[in-house]
Amino acid sequence: MEGCSNLGGFVLSSSSLSTLWLSDLYSLSKMVFNCPNLKEISLEFSRQENDTTDLTTMADGMGRSCPRLKNIHIASVRLSHAVVLSLTAANLRGLRMLSLVLGSEITDASVAAIASSYSKLELLDLSGSSISDSGIGMICNVLPNTLSRLLLALCPNITSSGIQFATAQLPLLELMDCGMTVCDPDSQNSPCDESGDNELPNALNNKLYLMYQKLIIKHSRLKKLSLWGCSGLDALCLNCPELNDLNLISCKNLHPERLLLQCPSLQNVHASGCQESLIGAIKGQVSDSLASLENQYQCKRLADGSKRVRAPDCLSQEATDDKKRRKVVEQQCKVLVD
């Protein structure tokens, strides 16, 4: 149900309801759940600061009355550490997906509570929170054998070191969203007023430019990586054979000569808002990667190793390998700039 802004409150009682999605919620005075078979719930609240919904009480009641919940998604600017504690106290043993979005008051302490209560999460989304690299470390310590999707967009306290650590410690990771985390430090400064009283010294400006970060990721299973808005990155090296979707939108300070993409399965690279030189470097690297794979399946080396020659069809591998070769040849990576 969308457009629930005029809903003042509700009492839900059902023995059969398994999925509930409500959006545009605002200032609910009462929320009562009695749904013992509810497995998935999504509650999206208005982003207005004056929302008066008591999320802590709601989370407590939901946890006690819906013991079979597997997937929880709550989006609200009023999410806090207290709300997290109410959810973790419920001890929802079957919980596999937890998404708590836009809660700037969610901290590393909240991550510790989540990690101690829910050790089998497959998806964790804390986008918009205030967690830091320390929180990422807790996630990696508890969830290395289950977590496959980690979303931490709009988390300003996370650095490239934390992102790199997560990819190194989470072997099952297939999707990671770190958009707007590593941002250009110079863009955080307010414009100088006309009087010049707020003008930064040259030495400080120089230090800011030195704060650009590099990111190196080597992962065998990662399929989707989003770094949109990471204007604080100036170097990126990816060795991800299964990666098929890469989002570099508005990575405006990424240097073409400091980009290395070893990702032969790439199908889409989103690059709008990037420098023309970077877009050209991306196109060149994905083209070279495709050509390398094509040659791998279409050419053989002579017995003495002296020369590569194109193998005739009769010498090709079994039919399955032939299909794989055709798939590689037909694959085209799209660099999207619109």
Look up residue 66 and give its two tokens. 């819906």
What confidence score (pLDDT) does residue 22 get? 95
Q: What is the pLDDT of residues 131-156, one digit of tens each?
A: 999 999 999 999 999 999 999 999 99
* CATH 3.80.10.10, applies to 1-181: yes
Q: Has this prediction a pTM greater than 0.85?
A: no
pLDDT at 17 exceeding the cut of 90: yes
User: Mean pLDDT over residues 83-88, rounded?
Assistant: 96
CB 12 within 8 A of CB 35: yes
Q: What is the pLDDT of residues 23-76, one digit of tens each?
A: 999 999 989 999 999 999 999 999 887 899 999 999 999 999 999 999 999 999
Q: What is the pLDDT of residues 165-174, one digit of tens each?
A: 999 999 999 9
Q: What is the pLDDT of residues 271-311, one digit of tens each?
A: 999 999 999 999 999 876 555 544 444 444 444 444 444 44
Residue matched to tokens 């005029």? 6
What confidence score (pLDDT) does residue 117 get? 95
What confidence score (pLDDT) does residue 331 get? 62
Q: Name the residue among 133, 180, 170, 131 with its Cα closest to residue 150.
A: 170
Contacts (Cβ under 8 Å, ≥6 apart) of 151: 99, 123, 124, 125, 126, 127, 175, 176, 177
Question: Where in the chain are all domains bearing CATH 3.80.10.10?
Answer: 1-181
Residue type at 25? L
